[in-house]
Amino acid sequence: MARISQEQYEEYRSALKRMRMLDDTLMKCVFKDYKPAVELVLRIILQRDDLEVIDFTVSKEYKNLKGHSVCLDVIAVDKDGKHYNIEVQRDDRGAEPRRARFNSSMMDIEMLDKGEDYSKLQDSYVIFITENDVFKEGEALYIFDRINIKSGKPLGDGSRIIYVNGAYEGDDPLGWLMSDFRETDPEKMHYKVLAERVNYLKNDTKGEEEMCKIVEEIAEKRFQKGIEKGIEKGRLEGIQEGIQKGRLEGINFLIAAYRKLGMTQDQIIKQIASEYEISQSEVAKHVYAE
């Protein structure tokens, strides 16, 4: 991706000030290379002060050669070998239960090497932090296990799916955490670990530059993903046609990314047109079509 201009940088800064941790771009930047934030969130949600993260990855991509691939927001492993997937979803449709099921299955596939016994599968937790109360039952947490419907006894397969209601406002650790996820001003945040990191990304020159770089990387990955999908389609439709379709899908990925940054339609059109040598009128067709 081309280096951004000073005007574009200022647009990024303005959009960054309005971001919250419920915006997945800021969330990923807060968690990236910053274990204390990942550990804090898991400890509060799971109510485990002893939980210790030993490894984690932000934007972990799982490729399924025969079907649908997926990029998970955060994957973490604790000292006991338990695996965690943390996803932040503002759109209720993005938190559809079957998506959580798919994430869980992809984690399982990655855990088990060829020839290993199923008993080697570690416990896994898929955690969706949603902006709204997607189940509309007024709960702070929704915890799902597989159970025997008749007896109520758990299956014991080691997998669990948890939904965290981002709208929860309780006066307790989880309520304070969700308040921090909704907050734009780091000075008003409850947890020092998160406040310091958000303040660095929003108000420190090095942090702002780091944030802009990560945003560029995310947009570039989305663009390239569209190209790759187009090439794959090209095996059936003709390589050139497939690449063209991939390019168009890449443009749509970029539009979605820049909208999450809070950029206006005109800003998005100018940004994509200048970076990828596409006419503004061509980009505008996609911007106004959504």
The better pLDDT of the pair 268, 102 is held by 102
Confidence bin at 282 (pLDDT 50/70/90): confident
pTM for this model (two decimals): 0.76
Read off the tokens for 122. Answer: 């570690």
> For 6-32, what is each residue's pLDDT tens digit?
666 676 677 778 889 998 888 988 999
pLDDT of residue 211: 76
For the stretch 142-176, pLDDT in tens is 999 999 999 999 999 999 999 999 999 999 999 99
Query: Quick one: pLDDT at residue 216?
Result: 67
pLDDT band at 241 (very low <50, low <70, confident <90, very high): low
Handedness of CA 81, 57, 227, 254 (dihedral sign): positive
The better pLDDT of the pair 29, 126 is held by 126
Q: Rounded to whole angstroms, how far apart are CA atoms 91 and 244?
A: 29
Residue among 96, 87, 262, 98 nearest 166 (CA): 87
Confidence bin at 198 (pLDDT 50/70/90): very high
DSSP string, 158-198: SEEEEEEETT---SSHHHHHHHHHH-S-GGG-S-HHHHHHH
Q: 285 or 22: which carries more pLDDT confidence?
A: 22
How many CA atoms are closer than 13 Å to the CA of 92, on its beta-carbon side? 7
| DSSP track, 94-116 | GG-HHHHHHHHHHHHHHHSPTT-
Flag the least confident range among 149-153, 230-234, 252-256. 230-234
What is the overall mean pLDDT for the chain? 84
Average pLDDT over residues 124-143: 96
> What string of H, E and C letters represents the secondary structure of 51-82?
CCEEEEEEEEEECCCCCCCEEEEEEEEECCCC
Model confidence at 2: pLDDT above 50: no
pLDDT at 226: 57
pLDDT band at 284 (very low <50, low <70, confident <90, very high): confident
What's the whole-number mean pLDDT along residues 221-247? 56
**Least confidently predicted of 118-122, 146-150, 278-282:** 278-282
Per-residue pLDDT of 64-92, as tens digits, reads 756 677 888 999 999 999 999 999 998 88
Does residue 62 carry a pLDDT above 90? no
**39-43, 158-162, 264-268, range with the lowest pLDDT:** 264-268
Q: What is the mean pLDDT of residues 244-258?
A: 69
Quote the percentage of the chain above a pLDDT of 90. 49
13 vs 96, which has greater pLDDT?
A: 96
Nearest to 42 by CA among 60, 54, 33: 54
